[in-house]
Amino acid sequence: MAISYIGVGANLDDRAAVLRRAAAALDGYDSLEVKAASPVYETAPVGVTAQPMFLNAVLAAETDLEPHALLERLLAVERRFGRVRRQRWGPRLLDLDILLYENEIIRGRGLEIPHPRLHERAFVLVPLCDLTPRGRHPVFKKTFSELAESIVPTQEVRKLHGVSLLSVCT
């Protein structure tokens, strides 16, 4: 079984409910088990800024799926939730991204691991630090905490209290 870290985000509909249902949907597959979930954070949009605030979190999952199969599973869950890709970095009902898959570095065939913008996004680094603060970026060799410290002051990230994704995962 491999450990993968999956970014989850939403900025449409009942964002917290969408994230809870997405975590439960992912945990419901027999080839993927959600082991931990970060706290949920409210974050400002990146790229296209004229849109609602996001809720973001990171899930740690064990899987026997290979990286490309895991990506297909995530895309299938997004489609099940009604995600339609219209605008890059635009509003979305659900966004699921493979951030890390073990310590692998994969480039090509529609998949980049670690996620190519992981190191520059507080909305991913802050919740990732909650799960693996001493973890190291496989390319940059810095800890996620070191990477987060360099960018968090420039990006809005606020922890939400009372919202948990773990309660739906067994």
What is the rounded distance in angstroms from the CA atom of residue 113 to the CA atom of residue 106? 5
Query: Is 97 an annotated catalytic residue?
Result: yes
What is the rounded distance in angstroms from the CA atom of residue 70 to the CA atom of residue 73? 5
Query: Is 83 an annotated catalytic residue?
Result: yes
Q: Are 1 and 62 in contact (CB under 8 A)?
A: yes
* Catalytic position from the list 92, 109, 130, 158: 92
Q: Are 35 and 58 in contact (CB under 8 A)?
A: no
Query: Is 130 an annotated catalytic residue?
Result: no
| Beta-bridge partners for 163 | none
* Catalytic position from the list 27, 73, 97, 121: 97
Q: Are 133 and 144 in contact (CB under 8 A)?
A: yes
* Catalytic position from the list 15, 95, 107, 117: 95
Q: Are 89 and 49 in contact (CB under 8 A)?
A: no
What count of other Cβ atoms lies within 10 Å of the Cβ of residue 85? 11
Kindly give, in sequence order, each residue whose CB lies less than 8 Å from that of residue 161, ignoring residues fewer than 6 positions away: none
Q: Which residues are tagged catalytic?
A: 83, 92, 95, 97
